């Protein structure tokens, strides 16, 4: 009897496991995935014109990319047009570019324009802890897509499963990710001529993809979806501005100029954030001031107006930013100054903002040297006023060093080293790759980097010494007003005075303003005993 009592729990456990095993086998239906059951089913999301209605009209700022994918729409609409001359449309299209630039939106727009089903799935959705699940999901996805032909399969973040095989410390062909990649390659090779299925993949790391994935016959068409230029940003801002109540006098061209390197997603967030700011301020329309505040918040963080700052530190920040501002204003090769502030934002105690007149796709030597002098100006002005130095210039030091290092290592702007590239190759796979130049060359590189920074520092010091009266004017104005726009800076640089209330004036006016009269029906101290225990006012009878 005691033996039966000891064995009975084990028998029950084995029976339960066997029951679950048989149930899983039946759930799988004998199809792909076997005992894995529902694990082998694809996790894709299916969209049709009834659920998602995105067209090329909703995509702005990436006109070149739209032009490149027009032929995909034509193929899905009229495949016989291409078959007449024996041409073969690319079966796979790779959308490559930084995050937030509209790759997913463009893929949906292709499906919307062609009016075909849209199967979308992320690369990470293929991989689970069980070996073989990813490959099973790939087969299930392509099977359903062929049954719904013509259609589009969209593989987002394909680099999650499409990385180069044999690199790093993976376990070779038995690795789950590599099995999933092999399944994708096999399925793309298995398309018949009559299969009107287009596979679109998106990635921001096209450099790490396996060559077998990007060879002709698979993803043989790569469309670059890059960050928008000024005109592209203006178009994107216009699309999203149409969804909010925008003030008619807002200059979108100015906003576009002030948002270099913003992606489409960041521009959409900017408009939404500006609408929130305007709403909280009780405005009827979104104004330029709200857009600029939203831009600064997205790029640098929320303004910390309530932070208590010692007057000595506040003065040091004002002179630091004044040093940047004066040099940037005086140098023709630097970007125009947009505004300067000593209101803490994010990790920064203050900031000087530029407003580039055009997008830069490369840096000229004169522009870099001017930028180096601007970066050095903050520390120099702060040290001259306080007779001390602080850690506030840490970001300036880092940027100046990075610019100088790039000039020497990558851009061939060193007279001693000449037209030679010394920076390591980012695409080298060896983890043990050593230095590619001698110790003597390394010493010269260090000397050249320091020489460039030292020369910029000396030039910045000369400029500020000759224009210290302008530094004093800007710094004192910052202490009074906290933020100066480009018109204020121009007035100060020409020897004028700013004619508007200071921060102290506004605080004084706010304190002296009459307080609102209390309602005669408001409960008095004597009435507090009549309040309910939870502190709420009694309901009206």
Q: Over the chain (541 residues), what is each successive 10-residue block's mean pLDDT? A: 64 74 48 46 58 83 90 82 73 91 91 88 73 78 86 90 68 65 85 78 90 85 91 93 92 91 94 95 93 90 76 93 96 93 86 86 92 97 93 93 95 92 66 70 95 97 96 95 92 90 64 55 42 36 32
Say if residue 327 is in the same domain as residue 254: no
Active site residue 71: no
**CATH code for the domain of 472:** 1.20.58.760
Cβ density class 382-409: b for 16+ within 10 Å, e for less? bbebeeeeeebbeebeeebbebbbebbb
Q: Is residue 5 part of a domain?
A: no
Say if residue 180 is in the same domain as residue 34: yes
**CATH code for the domain of 284:** 1.10.8.60
How many angstroms separate the CA atoms of 481 and 75, rounded?
A: 61
Q: Is residue 21 part of a domain?
A: no
Say if residue 252 is in the same domain as residue 386: no
Say if residue 419 is in the same domain as residue 458: yes
**Is the bond preceding residue 356 a cis peptide, omega within 30 degrees?**
no
Say if residue 199 is in the same domain as residue 292: no
Say if residue 477 is in the same domain as residue 367: yes
Q: Is residue 403 part of a domain?
A: yes
Say if residue 419 is in the same domain as residue 332: yes
Provide the pLDDT for residue 13: 77
Q: Is residue 274 part of a domain?
A: yes
Parallel, antiparallel or unpaired: strands 351-354 and 197-203:
unpaired
Number of Cβ within 10 Å of residue 308's Cβ equals 4
How many angstroms separate the CA atoms of 307 and 322, rounded?
A: 21
Taking every pair of Cα atoms in the chain, the longest distance, rounded to a whole number of angstroms, is 106
How many angstroms separate the CA atoms of 242 and 146, rounded?
A: 39
Q: How many independent structural domains does the chain possess? A: 3
Question: In whole angstroms, how large is the CA radius of gyration of the chain?
Answer: 32
How many angstroms separate the CA atoms of 66 and 71, rounded?
A: 10
Q: Is residue 18 part of a domain?
A: no
Say if residue 214 is in the same domain as residue 234: no
Interior angle at CA 367, CA 333 and CA 489, nearest 5:
40
Question: Are the CB atoms for 516 and 523 separated by under 8 Å?
Answer: no
Give pTM, 2 decimals.
0.75
Q: Is residue 526 part of a domain?
A: no
Say if residue 68 is in the same domain as residue 208: yes
Q: Is residue 456 part of a domain?
A: yes
Say if residue 116 is in the same domain as residue 191: yes
Q: Is residue 536 part of a domain?
A: no
Say if residue 55 is in the same domain as residue 175: yes
Number of Cβ within 10 Å of residue 252's Cβ equals 17
Provide the pLDDT for residue 123: 80
Number of Cβ within 10 Å of residue 164's Cβ equals 17
Question: In the numeric block, which tokens belong to residue 352?
Answer: 């000087």
Question: In the numeric block, which tokens belong to residue 154?
Answer: 């969209």
- DSSP E strand stretches across 226-380: 337-341, 351-354
Provide the pLDDT for residue 241: 93
Judging by beta carbons within 10 Å of its beta carbon (0-12, 13-18, 19+), is residue 49 exposed, middle or buried?
A: middle
Q: What kind and span of H or E run contains 156?
A: strand 151-156
Say if residue 270 is in the same domain as residue 353: no
Last residue of one domain, picked from the residues 191, 224, 257: 224
**CATH code for the domain of 212:** 3.40.50.300
Q: Which structural domain, as residue segments, surrounds residue 271?
A: 230-300
How many angstroms separate the CA atoms of 492 and 340, rounded?
A: 13
Q: Which of 321, 382, 448, 459 is catalytic?
A: 321
- Residue 351: what are its φ and ψ, rounded to 5°? -160, 150
Last residue of one domain, picked from the residues 224, 239, 254: 224
Provide the pLDDT for residue 218: 85
- DSSP E strand stretches across 469-527: 483-485
How many angstroms separate the CA atoms of 166 and 178, rounded?
A: 9
Last residue of one domain, picked from the residues 173, 196, 224: 224
């Amino acid at each position: 009897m005691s033996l039966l009592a000891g064995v009975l729990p084990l028998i029950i456990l084995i029976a339960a496991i066997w029951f679950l095993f048989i149930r899983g086998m039946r759930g799988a239906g004998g199809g792909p995935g076997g005992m894995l059951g529902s694990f082998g089913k694809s996790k894709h999301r299916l969209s049709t014109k009834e659920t998602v209605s995105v067209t090329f009209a909703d995509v702005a700022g990436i006109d070149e990319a739209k032009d490149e994918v027009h032929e995909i729409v034509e193929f899905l609409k009229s495949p016989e047009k291409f078959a007449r001359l024996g041409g073969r449309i690319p079966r796979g299209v790779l959308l490559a570019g930084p995050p937030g630039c509209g790759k997913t939106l463009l893929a949906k727009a292709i499906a919307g324009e062609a009016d075909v089903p849209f199967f979308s799935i992320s690369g990470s959705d293929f991989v689970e802890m069980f070996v073989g699940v990813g490959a099973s999901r790939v087969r299930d996805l392509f099977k359903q897509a062929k049954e719904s032909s013509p259609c589009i399969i969209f593989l987002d973040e394909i680099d999650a499963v499409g990385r180069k095989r044999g690199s790093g410390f993976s376990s070779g062909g038995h690795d789950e990710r590599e099995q999933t990649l092999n399944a994708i390659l096999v399925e793309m090779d298995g398309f018949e001529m009559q299969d009107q299925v287009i596979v679109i993949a998106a990635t921001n790391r096209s450099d790490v993809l396996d060559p077998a994935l990007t060879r002709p016959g698979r993803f043989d068409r790569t469309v670059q979806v890059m960050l928008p230029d000024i005109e592209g940003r203006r178009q994107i801002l216009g699309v999203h501005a149409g969804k909010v109540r925008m003030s008619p006098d807002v200059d979108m061209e100015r906003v576009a100029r002030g948002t270099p390197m913003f992606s489409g997603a960041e521009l959409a967030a900017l408009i939404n954030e500006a609408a929130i700011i305007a709403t909280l301020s009780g405005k009827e329309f979104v104004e330029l001031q709200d857009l600029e505040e939203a831009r600064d918040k997205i790029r640098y963080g929320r303004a910390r107006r309530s932070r208590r700052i010692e007057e000595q530190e506040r003065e040091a920040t004002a002179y630091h930013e004044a040093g940047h501002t004066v040099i940037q204003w005086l140098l023709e090769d630097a970007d125009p100054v947009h505004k300067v502030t000593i209101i803490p934002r994010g990790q920064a105690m203050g900031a000087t903002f530029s407003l580039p007149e055009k997008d830069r796709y490369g840096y000229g030597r004169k522009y870099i040297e001017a930028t180096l002098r601007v970066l050095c100006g903050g520390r120099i002005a702060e040290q001259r006023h306080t007779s001390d130095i602080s850690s506030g210039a840490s970001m300036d030091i880092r940027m100046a060093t990075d610019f100088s290092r790039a000039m020497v290592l990558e851009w061939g702007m060193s007279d001693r080293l000449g037209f030679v590239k010394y920076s390591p190759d980012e695409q080298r796979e060896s983890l043990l790759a050593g230095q590619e130049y001698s110790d003597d060359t390394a010493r010269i590189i260090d000397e050249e980097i320091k020489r460039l920074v030292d020369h910029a520092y000396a030039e910045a010091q000369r400029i500020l010494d000759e224009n210290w009266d302008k530094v004093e004017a800007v710094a004192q104005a910052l202490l009074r007003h906290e933020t100066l726009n480009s018109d204020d800076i121009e007035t100060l640089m020409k020897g004028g005075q700013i004619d508007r209330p200071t921060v102290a004036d506004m605080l004084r006016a706010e304190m002296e303003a009459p307080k609102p009269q209390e309602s005669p029906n408001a409960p008095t101290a004597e009435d507090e005993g009549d309040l309910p225990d939870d502190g709420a006012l009694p309901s009206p009878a």
